[in-house]
Amino acid sequence: MLVKWIRCTVVDRRGFERGQRKWAGLLGEPGFRGQGGGWSRTRQGVAHVFSFWESRAFYDSFMARSHDRLAASQAGTFTNAQVKLFDHRFDVKTGFEPRFTECDLLRVAHCRVHAERAEHFALMQEKVWNPAMAGSPGMVRGLFGEAPGSEFLILSMWQSDAEHGKYRAERVERLSLRAQTEADVAALSGDIVDMEKGWTV
């Protein structure tokens, strides 16, 4: 599965949201699995959208045919668009599906990892971080994705802010030490996203 992550700064909120609803047109596209997103909690006016495709071939075909028509309605409503593509490597918890109905909050972590530490980083994600997140009652599902150049995406879906807060308060520092995260990671950025139900396709 291919994961597309779009982050942009919105300059016309009403126009952007109106345009976002037009992406319902994705539903007929071959290979399309789902899309959802919302507003950054930490950065004013920043929107995040995640879309999921069965494969790169289906995605490339969509980009060549239908993308520009669907995107036209949002032209001029945002700036600084950053688009990244990741291959799904494994699930966080089990049975990841690109469904957003049961969650109010998304947590995204974007890691650039030292090349020689990439396999260690992925292993620690699987053996240390995954069980901890999967054991948190409010965590719905998630995935671990990889892009060329030792770049990784960890996306997790949470029922609520309160549930995510419990997990963070209890665990993050201790887990980070155990996983030797500091030795693996060259750069780390992340965000908390408040889901907008109207953007879900």
DSSP character string of 53-87: ES-HHHHHHHHHHTHHHHHGGGTTSEEEEEEEEEE
User: In Å, what is the CA distance from 14 to each residue of 10, 18, 19, 21, 76?
Assistant: 10, 6, 9, 11, 12
Q: What is the mean pLDDT of each run of 10 residues along the chain (201 residues)?
A: 98 96 94 98 97 98 95 96 97 89 94 96 92 87 96 94 77 84 93 96 96
Q: Is the pTM of this model over 0.75?
A: yes
- What confidence score (pLDDT) does residue 93 get? 84
Count each helix (H run) and each strand (E run) in the chain, helices first: 7, 8
**Which CATH number describes the domain made up of 2-199?**
3.30.70.100
Supply the pLDDT for residue 176: 86
pLDDT recorded at residue 134: 85
pLDDT of residue 170: 64
Count of other CB atoms within 10 angstroms of residue 143: 23
> What pLDDT shows up at residue 149?
95
Nearest CA to 6 among 44, 41, 40? 40
Residue 150's pLDDT is 96
* Contact by Cβ (8 Å): 164, 93: no
